[in-house]
Chains A and B, each alone.
Chain A
Amino acid sequence: MPEWARTHSWELLLGAILLATVLYNATNSPVYLDVDNFVNLFRLSIEKVIVAVAMTFVIINGEIDLSVASVMAFSACVLASAHQAGVPFPLAIALALFAAAAAGFVQGLVVARTGISSLVVTLAGLIGFRGAARILLEDRSIGDFPDWFGSLGRDDFLGPMPVALVLFLVMLVVGGVVLHRSAFGRKVFVIGSNAEVARYSGIAVARVKLTIFTMSGLVAGIAGVFFAARLGSVRANIGEGFELDIITMVLLGGVSIFGGTGSMVGVALAIGIVLNLRNGLGLANVEPNTQTGVIGALLIASVLAQNLLDRLPLRRRAAAEA
């Protein structure tokens, strides 16, 4: 096995699964290879995949952010209630994004300052920011957004792609470059593999964590605004449970839950797999719920397979030589 294939075995595995999914879908459904179908499959999950890019940074950094779906709803609710209160719409969007970034900042501050596990802090955030959304909107549903905002979620922007999809692709590329080709990205990896060592090496661990959590909040806020645009109206319970789908995509992408390893390419492939699998199963009339089960099984199986592969003597020797 060449060196490249050995270090990227996970991406190869994911690529093979993706290829198999695409081929299977293409032979089973005539409409599958349609460009509209491809755009549509992204359109329906665009909020999740946008957040997955930021979540990749969080998990590689050795943390987790369970609050993203709640922050998403929170920012959408801030937008809606500001709009209802007569705030000019662009300002309302700015307020929503600021609120989301602040939500991320506060959680990041607690994690970085006290050293409390981010699982706990963002669990509190998951419940608390959903609560903030409920306080804002109670059980009302707020719509009546300006027309241009609605078309932001629906209409094509670049070729057949809506704005959110273009933004996602840009974020994916920029995120990949920052993660793998910048000093900040290196710090994210180093902290994720060993925060103590990173601290003693003079890396400002707290600042990096704070930045990442603030970004995670901001990105969740952006996703929340796009969600509001796509739905046309906002309720406090939108996006409930999204955090699990988002984390599944990132972990399936080969990002270690313990931090320190993973790649943006892997996450991109995993997003492709999850969306194509859902789409293909949907076209084959498999219920959405069963699709979720299949993806859950895939998540476990992929890590299990990797573990079993690692036990093969051949791989072990190769690793020892490397």
Chain B
Amino acid sequence: MTGALWIRPERIKELSLLGVIVLAVVVFGFLVDDYYSGRFFNRVTTSVAITAVLAVAQTLVIVTRNIDLSVGSIVGVTAYLTGEFAAAHHDASPVLAIAIAVGLGAGLGAVNGLIVAYGRVPAIIVTLGTLAIYRSWLVSHAEAKTITADSLPSWVVDLPTRTLVSVGGLDVRVVVAVVVAVVVVLQLALARLRWGRRLYAVGSNPEAAAQSGLPTRRLVLSAFVGCGALSGLAGFLFLARFGTITVVAGGGLELDSVAAAVVGGVSVLGGSGTLVGAVLGAVLIDLLDQSLVRVPQVNEFWRDAILGGLILAAVVADVVVGRRFRRRWSAEARPHTRLDDEAGAGGAPPGGGSAGGGDTAGGGDAGGEDETPALVATDPGGDATDA
């Protein structure tokens, strides 16, 4: 990454998204009295924490050219069961409660992943099914009972307002810090670790990845398990934030998570997108959500229409501007990084992301870490035979 090439397509997306967020903050600052207050900052950040974790969860799966529509149900199930556990064991350690939420989520994600990867059932079908199954299990398990805030131990209820550090009147909540840490670690893993690069390779061109000897099934499974675990974490955050958990808790979050990822520049065709982008997408959506309510000129009923327009604008701008920019970028690029462009192009013209041509050796090199082909060569992987 030298010279002009340090700017990659993902960076452009992230930077422009950041620009839109700043613009939104400035515009809302004019429209809303007392917009730049510590309280509002806290409200947005604690609310973003949940959506951001889900956007990251969804991105892990989308990157492998799959989708998880069951995250909302996983949030509901984990929030409810963890709440039940915490209510019954007031002296249990917080770590145990969080571990239960994450473990439970990972288990539910594993069910999805096993059926997708080993049963070869398309992810949209599997998770459409488990969306209904997990939820209906929860409803019959709960028997119309609700988890209430006063039944929970105080550490759960107090968690959202716990502050780690205060910077000039702005409090950084513990919850927010934890989420930021999780996102940073996962982003690094996705960008730097062999596992992360391979997820991109699988999503970029599944056949080529399998031909290169990558354990594609285990990789897809790992993405679903990761997605489930993060949804479990989001379920715990949901419990802490709202305290009151009914059987419909978390319903509809699956679409919010897909929306955040898409606004954040993650291609639903797989192989392209970053967690940071997805988080920025979540920030933008939540920011609009929380800000529009306060603008006197528009009312709350405009929220969905604006959000829908925003998603459309984000993807159309990505295609129209991105396509032009990437063509130029790829012309300047060094020859051996040329394939980055194809993977990054997403819905681009013939032979791009969707068609996934026949270039077995390099087609799987999604994000353009130069060493990826070497990794493929040194580790032919055990699962190549059962592909």
**Residues on A facing B (Cβ under 8 Å):** 110, 114-117, 119-121, 123-132, 134-135, 138-139, 196, 236, 244, 247-248, 251, 257-258, 287, 289-297, 299-300, 303-304, 307-308
B315 at the binding interface (Cβ < 8 Å): yes
The contact of B255 among A115, A123, A129, A295, by CB within 8 Å, is A123
Q: In the bound complex, how far is the Cα of B311 from the Cα of A101, in angstroms?
A: 21
Are B308 and A304 in contact, with the CB atoms below 8 A?
A: no
Q: Are A293 and B136 interface neighbours, CB within 8 A?
A: yes
A247 cross-chain contacts in B, Cβ below 8 A: 128
Q: Please name 26 pairs of A and B residues whose Cβ atoms are closer than 8 Å in the assembled complex, sorted by A.
A: A110-B312, A114-B347, A115-B319, A116-B319, A123-B259, A124-B259, A124-B309, A124-B312, A125-B308, A128-B305, A128-B309, A128-B312, A130-B308, A131-B304, A131-B306, A131-B307, A135-B305, A248-B129, A289-B135, A292-B136, A296-B129, A299-B125, A299-B129, A300-B126, A300-B129, A307-B119
Contact A135 B301 (CB under 8 A): yes
Does residue B3 face the partner (Cβ distance < 8 Å to A)?
no
Complex Cα gap A110–B349 (Å): 15
In-complex Cβ contact of A124 among B126, B131, B308, B349 (8 A): B308
Q: Does B128 lie within 8 Å of A296, measured CB to CB? A: yes
CA–CA, A124 and B306, complex, Å: 10
The reply to whether A132 and B305 form a contact with Cβ atoms under 8 Å apart is yes
Question: Cβ of B2 < 8 Å from any Cβ of A?
Answer: no
What residues of A have a CB within 8 angstroms of the CB of B137 in the complex? Answer: 293
CB distance from A51 to the nearest CB of B (A): 16
CB distance from B210 to the nearest CB of A (A): 17
Q: How large is the interface on B (under 10, 10 to 19, 20 to 34, 35 or more residues)?
A: 35 or more
Q: Which residue of chain B has the shortest Cβ distance to A137 in the bound complex? A: B301
Q: Mark B59-75, 1 if CB is under 8 A from A, else 0.
A: 00000000101000000
- Report yes or no: B315 in contact with A120, Cβ–Cβ below 8 A: yes
Contact B140 A300 (CB under 8 A): no
In whole Å, how far is B286's beta carbon from the nearest beta carbon of chain A?
Answer: 14
Q: Are A120 and B311 in contact (CB under 8 A)?
A: yes
The residue in chain B whose Cβ has the minimal distance to the Cβ of A119 is B268
B380 interface contact, C-beta 8 A: no
Interface: B122 (CB within 8 A)? yes
CB of B295 closer than 8 Å to a CB of A: no
**Nearest CB in chain B: distance from A311 CB, A:** 9
In whole angstroms, how far apart are the Cα atoms of A131 and B259 in the complex?
15
Q: Which residues of A contact B319 (CB under 8 A)?
A: 114-116
A297 surroundings in chain B (CB, below 8 A):
129, 133
A296 touches B315 (CB 8 A): no
Rounded to whole angstroms, the CA-CA distance of A199 and B293 in the bound complex is 47
Q: Is there an interface contact between B312 and A300, defined as CB atoms closer than 8 Å?
A: no
CB distance A196 to B312 under 8 Å? no
Taking A123-B255, A293-B140, A296-B129 as known contacts, 6 extra A-B pairs with beta carbons closer than 8 A to each other, sorted by chain A number, are: A114-B319, A124-B315, A135-B302, A296-B128, A300-B130, A308-B119
CB–CB A287/B121 < 8 A: no
CB contact under 8 A between A116 and B315, given known A289-B139, A296-B131, A300-B129: yes
Q: Does B258 contact A (CB under 8 A)?
A: yes
B residues near A135, Cβ cutoff 8 Å: 301-302, 305
Q: Given known contacts A124-B308, A134-B301, A289-B135, is B121 in contact with A114 (CB within 8 Å)?
A: no
Q: In the complex, A16 Cα to B119 Cα: how many Å? A: 23
B303 within 8 Å of A by Cβ?
Answer: yes
Q: Is B27 an interface residue (CB 8 A)?
A: no
Decide if B128 touches A248 in the complex (CB within 8 Å).
yes
Within 8 Å by CB of A296, from B67, B136, B299, lies B136
- The answer for the CA separation of A294 and B136 in the assembled complex, in Å, is 9
Q: Which of B133, B255, B269, B350 contacts A293 (CB 8 A)?
A: B133
Residues of B within 8 A of A293 (CB): 132-133, 135-137, 140
Q: How far is the CB of B247 from chain A (nearest CB, A)?
A: 8
Q: Are A121 and B312 in contact (CB under 8 A)?
A: yes
Chain B min CB distance to A63 (Å): 12
B23 at the interface (CB under 8 A from A): no
CB distance from A199 to the nearest CB of B (A): 8
Knowing A117-B269, A123-B255 touch, does A138 contact B307 (C-beta < 8 A)? no
Chain A hits for B312, CB < 8 A: 110, 121, 124, 128
Partner among A121, A128, A138, A290 whose Cβ is within 8 Å of the Cβ of B140? A290
A residues within 8 A CB of B301? 131, 134-135, 138-139, 236
Closest to B251 in A: A241
A124 and B139 contact, Cβ closer than 8 Å, known pairs A134-B304, A135-B305, A307-B121? no
From A115, A128, A139, contact of B347 by CB (8 A): A115
User: CA of A171 to CA of B255 in the docked complex: distance in angstroms?
Assistant: 30
Q: Do A296 and B130 have beta carbons less than 8 Å apart?
A: yes
